[in-house]
């Protein structure tokens, strides 16, 4: 059983932070609940410096500011596993991002151990320890937490600390330690920026189906939905689902009667939001219309060009022992083609940045697309 300190008051937390400030490595994990909310509900923070394993109770502690400041300390390496959701939690609750960042899942991939390796599998492979994952679907907001829940949470950082020397040594031997930290910087980029309300419509599924006039309606509707979601801390789909917004933008109801006839909205959505929706739709700017949503994949030659780039990158992945998902994913290829076909305007695609550029830039430049 893990030995841990349960921290549920500010004085204990601040004493712990003072200790952690002396460390060069801090292991981190979070437990949270997300069902209907826009933001995850933070239930527990696990931290371990190799000496004190702490389970920090954010439900009981009102002021976590000193702990959040610790995460931004550039002299302490923050060790995590598959951390994208943790980063979202840190951004929302702490307005911070943990840098420098060492993600053990990415480290394992760069070491040739496989892409997307789960924590339990990584621990079993490297340490020959079997972790009980029985509490993974627990309600982390419920108090008091059981001994089984606390032990499960503690184990999530206990073994990660033991994995670090192995992964670090392998990356150093491969000359890829700098790649790992570069990935950490890339993962944390832009996470502290507030949601962009004016471009929310671009993320609505099937927005590409709409003409400019319909997009003008979708733009104000998506902005309104995002504002509602943020104000009430509701997942977007629990305000109105994407296909409901698309239907409204296409059919443009002018009266309650017309809106009620729409089958794409639930009865609850109509009852709660009908007046708001009609009011918001009247604010659409029908003079300065948005541009059509450009769907690259529908352009002539896309499939052929995609295959050419994928073949090139896949060969590079095999040659260098890098997982395809890190260099030749669908998103990476799509982003590259968009940049290439847009006369190389705008930000460089990911595949032409940092260590990826070292591997791929020259080969991609020679492709005829």
The fold of the 197-281 domain, in CATH, is DNA polymerase; domain 1 (1.10.150)
- Is-catalytic flag, 86? yes
Residue 196 has pLDDT above 90, yes or no: yes
Tens digits of residue pLDDT in 78-91: 999 999 999 999 99
- The whole-number pLDDT of residue 1 equals 44
291/135: higher pLDDT: 291
- Is-catalytic flag, 152? yes
What are the strands, taking DSSP E only, across the chain?
5-7, 25-33, 41-48, 53-56, 77-80, 101-103
The least confident of 42-51, 133-142, 263-272 is 133-142
Angle at the Cα of 151 (from 109 to 30), degrees rounded to 5? 50
Which one is catalytic: 49, 103, 156, 183? 156
Q: Where in the chain is the domain with CATH 1.10.150.80?
A: 197-281, 296-365
Backbone angles phi, psi at 55, to 5 degrees: -110, 110
Which one is catalytic: 49, 73, 86, 242? 86
Which one is catalytic: 31, 73, 183, 335? 31
Share of the chain above pLDDT 70, in %: 98
Q: In whole angstroms, what is the distance from residue 148 CA to residue 128 CA?
A: 21
- Is-catalytic flag, 181? no
- CATH number of the 5-188 domain: 3.30.420.10
Average pLDDT value for the chain: 94
**296-365: CATH homologous superfamily?**
HRDC domain (1.10.150.80)
Which one is catalytic: 29, 49, 103, 269? 29
Tens digits of residue pLDDT in 334-362: 999 999 998 888 889 999 999 999 999 99
- Is-catalytic flag, 156? yes
Which one is catalytic: 152, 159, 164, 217? 152
């Amino acid at each position: 059983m893990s030995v841990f300190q349960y921290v549920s008051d500010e004085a204990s937390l601040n004493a712990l932070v003072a200790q952690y400030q002396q460390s060069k490595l801090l292991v981190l994990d979070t437990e949270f609940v997300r069902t209907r909310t826009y933001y995850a509900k933070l239930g527990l923070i696990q931290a371990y410096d190799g000496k004190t394993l702490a389970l920090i109770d954010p439900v009981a502690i009102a002021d976590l500011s000193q702990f959040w400041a610790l995460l931004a300390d550039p002299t302490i390496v923050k060790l995590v596993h598959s951390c994208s959701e943790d980063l979202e939690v840190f951004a929302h609750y702490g307005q911070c991002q943990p840098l420098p960042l060492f993600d053990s899942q990415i480290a394992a991939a760069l070491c040739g151990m496989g892409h997307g390796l789960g924590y339990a599998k990584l621990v079993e492979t490297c340490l020959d320890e079997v972790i009980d994952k029985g509490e993974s679907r627990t309600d982390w907001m419920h108090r008091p937490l059981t001994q089984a829940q606390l032990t499960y949470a503690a184990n999530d950082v206990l073994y990660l600390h033991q994995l670090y020397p192995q992964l670090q040594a392998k990356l150093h031997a491969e000359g890829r330690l700098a790649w790992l930290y570069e990935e950490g910087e890339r993962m944390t980029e832009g996470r502290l920026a507030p949601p962009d309300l004016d471009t929310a419509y671009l993320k609505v599924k099937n927005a590409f189906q709409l003409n400019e006039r319909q997009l003008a309606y979708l733009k104000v509707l998506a902005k309104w939905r995002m504002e509602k979601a943020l104000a009430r801390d509701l997942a977007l789909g629990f305000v109105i689902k994407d296909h409901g917004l698309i239907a409204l933008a296409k059919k443009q109801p002018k009266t309650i009667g017309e809106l009620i006839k729409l089958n794409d909205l639930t009865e609850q959505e109509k009852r709660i939001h009908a007046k708001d929706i009609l009011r918001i739709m009247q604010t659409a700017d029908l003079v300065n219309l948005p541009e059509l949503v450009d769907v690259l994949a529908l352009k002539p030659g896309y499939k052929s060009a995609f295959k050419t780039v994928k073949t090139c990158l896949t060969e590079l992945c095999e040659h260098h022992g890098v997982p395809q998902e890190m260099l030749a994913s669908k998103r990476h290829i799509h982003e590259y083609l968009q940049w290439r076909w847009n006369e190389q305007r705008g930000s460089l695609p990911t595949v032409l940045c940092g260590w990826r550029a070292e591997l791929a830039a020259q080969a991609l430049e020679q492709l005829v697309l």
